[in-house]
Amino acid sequence: MTDTNRAEIRRGLEGVVVDTTAISLVDGEAGVLSYRGVSVDDLVEEPFGEVASLVVDDRRGGPLISEAAAHADLSDRERDLVLSLPRDTHPMHVLQGLTPLLDRTDAFKDRGEAAQGFAIAAKLPSIVATHLRADAIGHARSSDPAIRFLELIGAPDTDIARKAYSVTQILQIEHSFNASTFVARACASTLAPVENALSAAFGTLHGVLHGGADQAALETADRVGSPDRAAAFVDECLATKTKVMGMGHREYRVLDPRARYLKALAADLCAGTPHERTYRTLVAMEERFIERMAEQGKSLYANLEFYKGVIYRTLGIPTPFFTANFALARVYGYLAHFMESRLDNRLVRPKALYTGRPVGESVAAVV
């Protein structure tokens, strides 16, 4: 009997420690998230670009973020690639498909894969904005990646809009060995180029059990329609064992620390707008869900995704573009893990327990 036959199978790699990281700490028991040893509670007041630099380069104000901003505009070839795609192409397919096709930045050609990764990340807001507007876009003034995207799509030019988007993006830059980050590291372990690792991660982020939950949660609130219908909807979901998208988190046993910020920001941003009703519907859904979980002796709360969608929508971002905006933040986490994995590279190659037909048994003999 081989070691594989005796091994405990942990489907989904639940609880399996596969490597070390110094990038972020997710303390699910205490409800704490930190980047490079700094709590997100201390980072949400900083510019997005500063926090992204801390995550990737372990220092605020690192040069690559600002240097890459000078190469953020698309070339004519890149712009034409985006505009040649059918309008109904999902933005996550655009990111996954076009990231490996972007021009490499000559200014960074002698500075390694990580530098090229920064240059690629700098272009992504322009790609998403071009696909969103279905037209060539202008040049953004800001060197901060988050604010640059708001400028490119013509989002409301207000303090609360900039604050809401920047904090939302900061809170989803990095989250340890989540599914898409693990895929990025697995791809990187083969010594594939950085753009391949990013593309693989984007494909994984697209799933509704990962980055796509923000879109699913808001579409659910749209179906519910009003706060007074929220309790009945949640009760029906629980009775039929249907997942309420955006509720609960695999890591956190208490309130997701990121959700606390997004709920407050959504309240401020939506106040007095046509989206306030949707926000109040989400609140009513969350309250009923928490109440029903408490009846079962469970503590489950909204996660990051639950209130994120209504923030994006109020900023003028269409629903299919929600997960792509997640990617505009998480790309810096992927880059950090790409760089970290390359410090002591080890090919990712897990084993599987074979449960198929015994070797040599005739197919015809199987009844």
Under CATH, to which class is 213-314 assigned? mainly alpha
What are 195-245's pLDDT values in tens digits?
A: 999 999 999 999 888 888 788 889 999 999 999 999 999 999 999 999 888
Three-class SS of 120-171 = HHHHHHHHHHHHHHCCCCCCCCCCCHHHHHHHHHCCCCCHHHHHHHHHHHHC
pLDDT the model gives residue 249: 67
Helix H segments across the chain?
Answer: 3-6, 48-57, 63-69, 76-83, 91-98, 112-133, 145-153, 159-170, 179-189, 194-205, 213-224, 230-239, 257-270, 276-295, 304-314, 322-343
Domain boundaries, the chain: 20-206+321-343, 213-314
Q: Is the pLDDT of residue 330 over 90?
A: yes
- Separation CA 311–CA 329 (nearest Å): 15
Strands 24-27 and 38-39, by their bridges, are unpaired
Q: Give the pLDDT of residue 58.
A: 84
Average confidence score pLDDT of the chain? 90
Q: What is the DSSP code (8-state) at residue 118?
A: H
- Using the predicted structure, report yes or no on whether residue 49 has a pLDDT greater than 60: yes
pLDDT digits (tens, 9 = 90+) for 23-43: 999 887 777 899 999 999 999
pLDDT tens digits, one per residue of 100-134: 999 988 878 888 888 899 999 999 999 999 999 99
The CA radius of gyration of the chain, in Å to the nearest whole number, is 22
pLDDT top residue among 209 and 172: 172
Angle at the Cα of 155 (from 154 to 156), degrees rounded to 5? 120
Nearest-angstrom CA–CA distance, 179 and 251: 12
Q: Using 50, 70 and 90 to split pLDDT, how confident is the model at 5?
A: low
pLDDT at 366 over 70: no
The Cα–Cα gap between 219 and 216 comes to: 5
**pLDDT (tens digit, 9 = 90+) per residue, 265-303?**
999 999 999 999 999 999 999 999 999 988 988 878 888
Tell me: pLDDT of 1 over 50.
Answer: no
User: Is it the case that residue 357 has pLDDT exceeding 80?
Assistant: yes
- Cβ neighbours, 10 Å, residue 76: 8
Q: What is the CATH number of domain 20-206+321-343?
A: 1.10.580.10
Q: Is the pLDDT of residue 364 over 80?
A: no
At 251, the pLDDT band (50, 70, 90 cuts) reads low
The per-residue pLDDT for 299 is 79
